[in-house]
Structure 1
Amino acid sequence: MSETPEITPDGRYLVVDGRRWRATDPAIPEERRAELTRILMAWRRDVRRTRGTDEEPTTRAGVQAAKVALGERGTPWWEQTDDERRARWSADVPVPPDR
């Protein structure tokens, strides 16, 4: 059974094995967060599949786009206005092609 990661008191980071990772933007509506998480996991599977091939940069760009939409990369969500945050998570995020 996996443990729930520690969250910093300000809610901005998860702590896993002593390392801080930026938390997903808590303002993202649950349905959109779940969709973006599914997209992210699909891209991560593609990264493993394409490692060392000409397709790898494209799959890594997909991971980056999903993580930015989730607020885990790019401008920190706590430094964005509500409108900027909404625009970030509402933007189109590419999905990996069906294989």
Structure 2
Amino acid sequence: MDSAAQPDRTPDGRYIVVKGRKWRATDPEIPEEAASRLRHHLMAARRAVAAARRADDPAAEKLARSRVQTAKVALGERGTPWWDQSLTERRARWEDGVTALDADRKG
């Protein structure tokens, strides 16, 4: 992605700023391959939320929202702030997220 398309960041790099609102940034230590897989799962889960809402299927929506949460936590955007975790904890967080989301997709 070219840097012109990237959102502004706070000076400490912990947050991105979109339309004046701060959002927790993705953990910069996540290897690109893992981050790409997690973003793919996140977007698929968001599409599943929308489809479940259109179908008025609360059970499917709940499952899809759970997958969104798993992806966001794995990316470091929710849950314990990545800057408060050791590198070992951070690695476990994103590896566990990829594993769970990959298994969920196959299941």
Answer whether TM exceeds 0.5 for this pair: yes
| Gap runs ≥5 in structure 1 | none
| Equivalent in 90, 93, 98 of residue 100 of structure 2 | 93
> Is 1:12–1:23's contact at 8 Å kept on the other side of the alignment?
yes
Residue identity in the other structure for 1:22: R
1:97, distance to aligned residue in structure 2 (A): 4.8
Q: Which has the higher helix share?
A: 2
Q: State whether structure 2 residue 39 is matched by structure 1 residue 37.
A: yes
1:19 matched residue in structure 2: 21
Alpha-carbon RMSD:
1.7
Q: State whether structure 2 residue 81 is matched by structure 1 residue 79.
A: no
Q: Deviations over 1:69-89 (max 9, x none)?
A: 000000000000111000001
The whole-number CA distance in structure 2 between the counterparts of 1:18 and 1:80 is 27
Percent of matched pairs sharing the same residue: 55
The whole-number CA distance in structure 2 between the counterparts of 1:16 and 1:93 is 29
Q: Deviations over 1:5-57 (max 9, x none)?
A: 11001000000001000000000001000010001000000010001422111
Question: How many equivalent pairs are there?
Answer: 97
Residue identity in the other structure for 2:81: P
TM-score by length of 2: 0.84
The whole-number CA distance in structure 2 between the counterparts of 1:89 and 1:8 is 23
The whole-number CA distance in structure 2 between the counterparts of 1:97 and 1:28 is 21
